[in-house]
Structure 1
Amino acid sequence: MTTTVRSGIIRGDNRGFVTQVRARPAKVHGPSSKNTVFVRSLVREVAGFAPYERRVMELLKNSKDKRARKLSKARIGSFSLAKKKVEELGNIIAAARRGAH
């Protein structure tokens, strides 16, 4: 925690009450551990997919990629995370197709 450049003076470039800058959590946390990957795969196997994830997968099967991203964004809240989720679900569909053949 570092003190900001605010001086406590009412005018000027450094105006404003003297405060501390709060550290924001990083968006990228680095590689997942083996245990984390295992636990997530186990939970996915037991719990399955969320209803919105099943709907996104159905949209992807019908080649409605843009609609799938929009739906995912509405449910998740962030477009970058929505794109990541759609990519993940697309990979799952592709793996299922490869396994079926």
Structure 2
Amino acid sequence: MLGALVGTAGSLVQSGWFPGGLLLALLATTGLFYGGRYVTGTQLGVAAPGIGWLVAAIGLSMGRPEGDVVFSAGLGPLAYLLGGMAMAVICATMWRLPQSGSKPGRLEE
């Protein structure tokens, strides 16, 4: 649900306040994906909000039969979609986060 909310808000902000809105939307998207990774410690923490973000962003990019669209044609919406997908992939393929309280090496008996 949070991914869909960030995707919807980012879709509206990125075109309204270009170019600052685009940077703000991409920062929010990156924070969402990294936060999911940090909280869960797994790639599933990126995938769950990523799917919600993608559904909202793609759903808003499709036009209605009346001709109404949220995304306008141009570089900004394309940068938002591709940048958001790139951030999801980057956050999902990061190294594993170190576990707190554990020492590297052998277990003591």
Q: TM-score, normalised by structure 1?
A: 0.33
Report the TM-score when normalising by structure 2.
Answer: 0.32
- With a CA cutoff of 8 Å and minimum separation of 6, indicate the structure with the bigger relative contact order: 2
Q: Which has more radius of gyration? A: 1
Q: Which has the higher helix share?
A: 2
